A and B are shown apart, each in its own frame.
Chain A
Amino acid sequence: MAGAFLTDDLSDLFQTDDFASAATFSGSTINVIFDAEFVGVDTGGEVQVESSSPVCYVATSDVAAAVHGSTIAIGGVTYTVTGREDDNTGVTMLRLRT
């Protein structure tokens, strides 16, 4: 269980006037920090395929129900959750696909 000092300021971290953006998860509006870094996908073939690796960082308490296959809408795009990584200090990273 994370100490309260770790979670007290999470709402500040996820302010939309800084780096976060609004998202819709399970009918609720939550704030997430979204990233979609470039990735060259290696399929084992002769070349890689250019793509991106969408993820979002969110307060764990906002996505307690998130599992693989859950959906989250960010910036008008609906993503499906393919991975959930809790840091056990109050922040969760969701790996996403379109």
Chain B
Amino acid sequence: MTHVRQQIRERIATNVTGLTSTASRVFQSRVYNLQATELPGLLVYTTSEQSERDTFISTNGLNRVVDVVVEGYAKASSNLDDSLDTISAEVEAALAADPTCNGLSKDLALASTEIEYTGEGDQPIGLVRMTFNVVYRTTAIAPTTAI
């Protein structure tokens, strides 16, 4: 069995695969450079998680909030800002349509969005970084099972 965090990340990657702008160019936890042919594309990461026991006398219940980061990259000589906003709209709508991640989570919400541009390279490149807070629950002894 896999950690529920992994299951959530994989579900989110599935939910953002096939969007109009980024199609199948979706990569989980990528560490290597993106090529021009992989743009526009999405990268999905789980970068941090906060957890706490729900009560002192419970059966080891843990309430968890994992930050799922979806980064959208685009390259264009014009209207790059529009491209990034379109990517953002597509990702937000896709994830909002499945706030329980197919039953794995209690809630999912967009927490922040950052946008960056750079003129390095042969065309301008932009990044939209969306952080989603995903709330889920497990027991301490069974982190592979959502409860």
The smallest beta-carbon distance between B142 and chain A, in angstroms, is 30
Pick from A6-14, A20-28, A40-48, A59-67 the stretch touching chain B.
A40-48
> Which of the residues A47, A52, A80 comes within 8 Å of B121, measured between beta carbons?
A52
Task: Contact check, B122 vs A36: say whether CB atoms are below 8 A apart.
Answer: yes
CA distance A80 to B45 in the complex (A): 36
Task: Contact check, B73 vs A50: say whether CB atoms are below 8 A apart.
Answer: no
CA distance A73 to B119 in the complex (A): 20
Decide: A49 near B43, CB < 8 A? Known: A36-B122, A39-B120, A43-B116: no
Query: B33 an interface residue at 8 Å Cβ cutoff?
Result: yes
Residues of A within 8 A of B56 (CB): none
Task: Contact check, B33 vs A45: say whether CB atoms are below 8 A apart.
Answer: no
Task: Contact check, A39 vs B45: say whether CB atoms are below 8 A apart.
Answer: no
Task: Contact check, A48 vs B33: say whether CB atoms are below 8 A apart.
Answer: yes
Residues of B within 8 A of A43 (CB): 73, 116-118, 125-127
The smallest beta-carbon distance between A70 and chain B, in angstroms, is 15
Interface positions, chain B 72-101, Cβ under 8 Å from A, are 73, 75, 77
Decide: A50 near B33, CB < 8 A? Known: A45-B73, A45-B127, A97-B123: yes
Give the bracket for the number of chain A residues in contact with chain B: 20 to 34
The smallest beta-carbon distance between B44 and chain A, in angstroms, is 10
Task: Contact check, B122 vs A50: say whether CB atoms are below 8 A apart.
Answer: no
Pick from B2-10, B15-23, B34-42 the stretch touching chain A.
B34-42
CA distance A42 to B34 in the complex (A): 11
> Which of the residues A45, A53, A80 comes within 8 Å of B77, measured between beta carbons?
A80
Task: Contact check, A45 vs B122: say whether CB atoms are below 8 A apart.
Answer: no
CA distance A54 to B31 in the complex (A): 26
Decide: A45 near B121, CB < 8 A? Known: A40-B33, A50-B35, A51-B36: no
Offer 10 A-B interface pairs, CB within 8 angstroms, sorted by A. A39-B120, A43-B117, A45-B71, A47-B32, A50-B34, A51-B120, A51-B121, A51-B122, A51-B123, A98-B77
Instruction: Show the binding face of B for A, using Cβ within 8 Å.
Output: 30-36, 39, 43, 45, 69, 71, 73, 75, 77, 114, 116-127, 129
- Give me 17 other A-B pairs in contact (C-beta within 8 A), A43-B117, A49-B35 excluded: A40-B33, A41-B118, A41-B120, A41-B125, A43-B73, A45-B73, A46-B31, A46-B45, A47-B30, A47-B34, A49-B36, A49-B73, A49-B121, A51-B36, A51-B125, A97-B119, A97-B124
